[in-house]
């Protein structure tokens, strides 16, 4: 999974959190799961906290937790909270004034907007719990265990 965007980082860490059954995770533990800096985690998860997806407590025994059951957190909720989309929303015109390029960009942008609606609808039906079940299935089939949980 690509690790350089906030959505990939968030989904990866949220699945680790779901596996912990309510036990808190520190920013450092979360960062270790995705090989990044705790500051990146705190910045990324601030939006998730504002959206009511996670909570955080400071101090000894504190950390980040899911704010509601994994089954009640749709991937679309996470995507919206981060203001990111899996689907690129537009192409960039390289040669302003080129009529061919403009026609291509407009047509592709229309297709991307349609694709985004389809992806958004599917992500609204897919929860963190659904992904956690997939992780468990893959673990059972491969014999590999989830790291960092």
Over residues 68-117, the pLDDT tens digits come to: 999 999 999 999 999 888 877 677 777 878 899 889 988 998 898 899 89
Residue with tokens 């989830």, as numbered in its chain: 146
Q: Where are the alpha helices (DSSP H) in the chain?
A: 6-19, 27-34, 38-50, 75-82, 99-125, 128-142
What does the alpha-carbon distance between residue 9 and residue 25 come to, in Å, rounded to a whole number? 15
- Domain residue ranges in the chain: 6-142
Given a cut of 80, whether residue 131 has pLDDT beyond it is yes
Instruction: Say how many C-beta atoms besides its own lie within 10 A of residue 24's C-beta.
Output: 15
Which residue(s) pair with 54 in the sheet?
Answer: 66
Q: Report CA-CA distances (Å) from 73 to 54, 140, 143.
A: 10, 24, 27
pTM for this predicted structure: 0.80
What does the alpha-carbon distance between residue 92 and residue 103 come to, in Å, rounded to a whole number? 12
Residue with tokens 């694709």, as numbered in its chain: 115
Give mean pLDDT, residues 31-38: 92
**CATH number of the 6-142 domain:** 1.10.10.10
């Amino acid at each position: 999974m690509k690790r350089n965007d906030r959505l990939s980082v968030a989904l990866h860490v949220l699945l680790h959190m779901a596996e912990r059954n309510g036990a808190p995770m520190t920013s450092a533990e979360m960062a270790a799961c995705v090989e990044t800096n705790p500051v990146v985690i705190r910045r990324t998860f601030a939006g998730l906290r504002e959206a009511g997806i996670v909570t955080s407590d400071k101090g000894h025994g504190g950390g980040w937790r899911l704010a509601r059951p994994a089954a009640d957190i749709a991937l679309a909720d996470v995507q919206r909270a981060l203001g990111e989309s899996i689907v690129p929303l537009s192409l960039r015109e390289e040669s302003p004034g080129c009529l061919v390029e403009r026609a291509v960009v407009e047509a592709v942008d229309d297709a991307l907007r349609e694709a985004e609606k389809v992806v958004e609808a599917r992500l609204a039906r897919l929860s963190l719990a659904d992904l956690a079940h997939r992780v468990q299935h893959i673990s059972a089939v491969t014999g590999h265990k989830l790291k960092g949980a």
